A and B are shown apart, each in its own frame.
Chain A
Amino acid sequence: MNARTLKRIAIQAAALAAAALVVWFLAHNTLANLEARRIASGFGFLQREAGFEIGESFFLRYSASDTYLRALAVGVTNTLGVAAIGIVLATVLGAAIGLARLSANLLLRSVAGAYVEFVRNTPLLVQLFFWYALITEILPHPRAALEPLPGVFLSNRGFVFPTLTSTPVLEGFNFAGGMALSPEFAALLLGLVVYTAAFIAEIVRAGVLSVSRAQWDAGHAIGLTRRQALRYVVMPQALRVIVPPMASQYLNLTKNSSLAVAIGFPDLVSIANTTINQTGQAIEGVAIIMAVYLTISLSISAFMNWYNARIMLK
């Protein structure tokens, strides 16, 4: 080892030690301040009764007598649910719009271009408020609900439809039975899908354009139609450009779902916020939020990396 290497190692070790010292100071100081101000700490609160109701839960049964842990689990599943459905729908819509922007049809191309420019350049939060207001203001009260198909009802309480085992009926204030999508869920999903699709459209368009013009010509030369050339020649090559930035869009969509708190969808952040305020344990609550989002995001990244490796030219 020469002197330069030693010096480099020494500098890095010093930097690491300084960083560790700062982290230690912050942690120690926080604990000291919490202790001095008699603010409770630790995760014991998770086993206590939550005492508040949650508007909707896709997978887990929940009532006010359940624990904070279960309430937070409901939040996690609600976040995962809206993110998963959102990712699928945004990919489909985004790909369609991206391809429409490359269409030979002038009208289709212009409409798709206008969509992308409009949606990409207005804030997502404003769009969410817009969708939510649209749904709650325009749709009628349940007692005057629209019934586009027998048993399917549209009202400002949401979209209610029959399942194999039960059909919705109006009972007192609202519909009972069947399955229901709340206006909050609908507005959030719509907002996330419409917004993210605009970005995905641009990525798809860029991916397709990155494939050289000659590849299209080669496809046509062997007798493929435009559609077949896209499907068998261009797309497989475009995917290598499309997939890596798509991962960022999926991560964005998942993290943006936390804006649910503004329109009342009970996602993880919304429930964790309530938990923080009821228990006063902000540090633990924020740590849980960060850990969950980190886990979800790293999983999405890992999956996309795996998929990217799979479609690479070998």
Chain B
Amino acid sequence: MRVVVWLLALAAAVPAWAQSTLDAVRSKGFVQCGVNTGLAGFSQPDSKGVWRGLDVDVCRAVAAAVFGDATRVRYTPLTAQQRFTALQSGEIDVLARNTTWTISRDTSLGLNFVGVNYYDGQGFMVPRKLGVKSAKQLSGATVCVQPGTTTELNLADYFRANKMTFKPVVIEKLEEVLNAYFAGRCDVFTTDHSGLIAVRSSRAPNPADHVILPEIISKEPLGPAVRHGDDRWYDIVKWAMFAMMEAEELGLTSKNIDEHMKSPNPSIQRFVGASGDIGKMLGVDNRWAYNIVRQVGNYGESFDANLTPLGFERGLNRQWNQGGLIYAPPIR
């Protein structure tokens, strides 16, 4: 049980902050990033073994900001149950693993969420042949779910609130829980809506055999998190994420940012580090944001590369001035 190993690490850890996370990351030469064990579009190795996804791009952006090199990341694939202990014990520097930001996690788990990189909500998927049209018809159903997630709690809440009953089948590994669902052990698979889309398009033997029900039963703001108590590192991860969002708003992409290096627009000048000393304030190179956009791309590019091919809509994850919720505070 890996949890036990991390607990030992927690027990043996040098008493609180002999070294800041930034210094530790600089001296080892890479960012250790906790990601999903394999969720298409968010974090999954491609056919060459290179990790790709929206969450993976947060890790790469942090590496680009700290080292000027987006490839200096090592990934730790984590199950839902392992993720918080891995962060608490110092095994990883950043947790970018489609994790829902809730008050109890933020206050009692010794971590801080840096923001939201995907606005999600929980949904249900059922085999088409069951003929179910609404989640309200699911009373008595057997539901496949992964343990230790907000999903498990929302599920129980939703059925209680609607005076319905269900039987959960709780399996930790995504692979195994999906096998159980596709084998017909459960009538329903539930997870975040994004997860359902990813699973249906990448894992279902025939995607058309499964329908995602219209009900969204919860708010699931997914975002990266860092250890509580290291504000400097918190700032770097937070602004690495925001830089990708700001770049999209400014119209900067990995393709055109070099042309914009001499742009007269003062916002762009500050952003690329041609003027001001924002990088210095963060404690990184002044061209940190340029490096992020040049090497990783802006938020929209990351979304288009990772999620659009799987059939995701931008939806809530459009920029604020396009009717969405993606809103980076001013970089100035």
Contact A274 B170 (CB under 8 A): yes
Q: Are A173 and B88 in contact (CB under 8 A)?
A: no
Docked CA distance A279–B107 (Å): 11
Q: Is A176 an interface residue (CB 8 A)?
A: yes
The answer to whether B187 and A39 have CB atoms under 8 Å apart is: no
Instruction: Report the count of interface residues on A (CB-CB < 8 A).
Output: 51
Interface flags, A197-236, vs B, CB<8A=1, else 0: 0000000000000000000000000000000000000000
**Complex Cα–Cα for A184 and B183 (A):** 13
**Range of interface residues on chain B?**
35 or more
- Residues on the A chain within 8 Å of B17, using CB: 36
Query: Which B residues from 99 to 156 make CB contacts under 8 A with A?
Result: 104-105, 107-110, 130, 138-142, 147-149, 152-153, 155-156
Contacts of B107 in A (CB 8 A): 38
- CB pair B15 A32 closer than 8 Å: yes
Stretch at the interface among B3-11, B51-59, B262-270, B311-319: B3-11
- Closest chain-A Cβ to B312's Cβ sits at a distance in Å of 27
User: Would A264 and B80 be within 8 Å (CB), given that A173-B140, A280-B109 are in contact?
Assistant: no
Q: Residue B12 at the A interface, CB < 8 A?
A: yes
The interface-forming segment of A11-19, A49-57, A106-114, A299-307 is A49-57
Q: How far is the CB of A93 from chain B (nearest CB, A)?
A: 26
Interface SS majority for chain A: helix
A200–B159 alpha-carbon span in the complex (Å): 45
B202 on interface, CB distance cutoff 8 Å: no
Determine the distance from Cα of A159 to Cα of B303 in the docked complex, in whole angstroms.
Answer: 46
Q: What's the least CB distance linking A312 to chain B, in Å? A: 38
Known A-B contacts A52-B156, A64-B156, A274-B152; the reply to A264 vs B11 at CB < 8 A is no
Closest-CB distance, A136 to chain B (whole angstroms): 4
Contacts of A273 on B, CB cut-off 8 Å? 3, 81, 147-148, 172
- Please state if A33 and B15 are interface contacts (CB–CB under 8 Å): yes
Determine whether the beta carbon of A286 is less than 8 Å from that of B7: yes
A51/B105 in contact, CB under 8 A: no
In whole angstroms, how far apart are the Cα atoms of A176 and B168 in the complex?
Answer: 15
Q: Does B157 contact A (CB under 8 A)?
A: yes
Evaluate contact between B108 and A39: CB separation under 8 angstroms. Answer: yes
Chain A residue nearest to B177 in the complex (CB): A264
Residues of A within 8 A of B88 (CB): 37, 39, 282
Given the contacts A136-B183, A137-B183, A277-B147, A171 and B170 also touching, CB distance less than 8 Å? no
Cα separation A219 to B17 with both chains bound (whole Å): 76
A40-84 residues at the B interface, CB under 8 angstroms: 40, 51-56, 64-65
Report whether B170 and A266 are in contact in the complex, using a CB–CB cutoff of 8 Å.
yes
Verify if B13 is at the interface (C-beta below 8 Å from A): yes
Of A39, A156, A174, most B-chain CB atoms within 10 Å: A39
Q: A33-B16, A264-B180 are in contact. Are A40 and B108 (CB under 8 A)?
A: yes
Are A278 and B84 in contact, CB atoms less than 8 angstroms apart?
Answer: no
Contact of A38 among B7, B140, B184, B229 (CB under 8 A): B229
Q: Does B108 lie within 8 Å of A172, measured CB to CB?
A: no
Q: Does A262 contact B (CB under 8 A)?
A: yes
**Contact residues of B: prevailing secondary structure:** mixed
Q: How far is the CA of A279 from the CA of B109 in the complex (A)?
A: 8
Across the interface, A53 reaches (CB within 8 A) one of B110, B138, B166, B179, namely B166
Complex Cα distance, B188 from A173, in Å, reads 10
Q: Is B203 an interface residue (CB 8 A)?
A: no
CB atoms of B16 and A55 under 8 A apart: no
Contacts of A298 in B (CB 8 A): none
Shortest A51–chain B CB gap in Å is 5
Q: Does B160 contact A (CB under 8 A)?
A: yes
The answer for the CA separation of A64 and B110 in the assembled complex, in Å, is 26
Q: Is there an interface contact between A51 and B147, defined as CB atoms closer than 8 Å?
A: no
Q: Which residue of A lies closest to B171 (CB)?
A: A264
Q: How far is the CB of B330 from chain A (nearest CB, A)?
A: 30
Q: Say whether A141 faces chain B, with CB atoms less than 8 Å apart.
A: yes
**Interchain CB contact under 8 A, A64 and B109:** no
Q: Is B227 an interface residue (CB 8 A)?
A: yes
CA distance A171 to B141 in the complex (A): 10
- Given A156-B184, A277-B84, A282–B171 Cβ distance below 8 Å? no
Q: Is the CB of A133 within 8 A of B179?
A: yes
* B residues less than 8 Å from A32 (CB atoms): 15-16
**Taking the complex as formed, is B176 at the interface, i.e. its CB lies under 8 A from any CB of chain A?**
yes
Chain B, residues 29-69, CB within 8 Å of chain A (1/0): the string is 00000000000000000000000000000000000000000
Residues A36 and B176 in contact in the complex (CB < 8 Å), given A141-B184, A280-B109: no
User: Are B156 and A51 closer than 8 Å at their CB atoms?
Assistant: yes
A37-B228 contact in complex given A263-B176, A279-B108, C-beta closer than 8 Å = yes
- Pairwise interchain contact A36-B160, C-beta atoms closer than 8 A: no
Residues of A close to B6: CB separation below 8 A: 282
A20 within 8 A of B: no
Given A30-B11, A276-B3, A172:B139 Cβ within 8 A: yes
Contacts of B153 in A (CB 8 A): 51-52, 278
A171-B185 in contact (CB<8A) = no
Bound-state CA distance A2–B216 (Å) is 80
Residue from B1, B10, B176 whose CB has the most chain A CB atoms within 10 Å: B10
Q: Write the residues of chain A forming the contact surface with B, with a CB cutoff of 8 angstroms.
A: 26-27, 29-30, 32-34, 36-40, 51-56, 64-65, 129, 132-133, 136-137, 141, 156-157, 171-174, 176, 183-184, 261-264, 266, 270, 273-274, 276-280, 282-283, 286
**Could you name 25 residue pairs across A and B whose Cβ atoms are closer than 8 Å?**
A29-B15, A30-B7, A32-B16, A34-B10, A37-B227, A53-B166, A53-B168, A55-B168, A64-B157, A129-B176, A133-B179, A136-B179, A136-B185, A156-B184, A157-B142, A276-B148, A277-B149, A280-B84, A280-B104, A280-B109, A280-B110, A282-B3, A282-B85, A282-B88, A286-B4
Please give me the 5 A-B residue pairs with the lowest Cβ-Cβ distance, nearest first.
A277-B148, A37-B110, A64-B156, A36-B16, A39-B110
